[in-house]
């Protein structure tokens, strides 16, 4: 049996150790504390791209 060690990462806001993948930091309450700034930026950008693509498609089909 493999002994899985819990992966901890520093919270991106308060820098306290948080378990990887937790929804909320137990120390400061930040959402997705293990998600890096770069990662959340990628998520935001891709969300904007998707919304823009949907908007463009709607405009195209309304013609
Ligand atoms: Zn925190």
How close is the Cα of 63 to the center of ligand 1, in Å?
49
Q: Is the pLDDT of residue 8 over 80?
A: yes
CA 60 to chain CA centroid, Å, is 31
Percent of the chain with pLDDT over 70: 90
CA 51 to centroid of ligand 1, rounded, Å: 30
The alpha carbon of 17 and the centre of ligand 1 are apart by a number of angstroms equal to 8
Residue 43 has pLDDT above 80, yes or no: yes
Distance 42 CA to ligand 1 centre (A): 21
- State both tokens at 7: 């992966």
* Cβ partners under 8 Å of residue 24, min gap 6: 30, 31, 32, 33
Instruction: Measure 31 CA to ligand 1 centroid, in angstroms.
Output: 9
| Span 17-42, pLDDT tens digits | 999 889 999 999 999 888 777 877 89
The residues facing 19 across adjacent strands are: 8
């Amino acid at each position: 049996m493999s002994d899985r060690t819990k992966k901890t990462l520093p919270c991106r806001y308060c820098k306290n150790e948080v378990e990887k993948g937790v929804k909320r930091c137990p120390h400061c309450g930040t959402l997705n504390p293990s998600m890096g700034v770069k990662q959340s930026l990628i998520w935001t950008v891709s969300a904007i791209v998707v919304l823009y693509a949907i908007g463009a498609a709607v405009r195209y089909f309304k013609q």
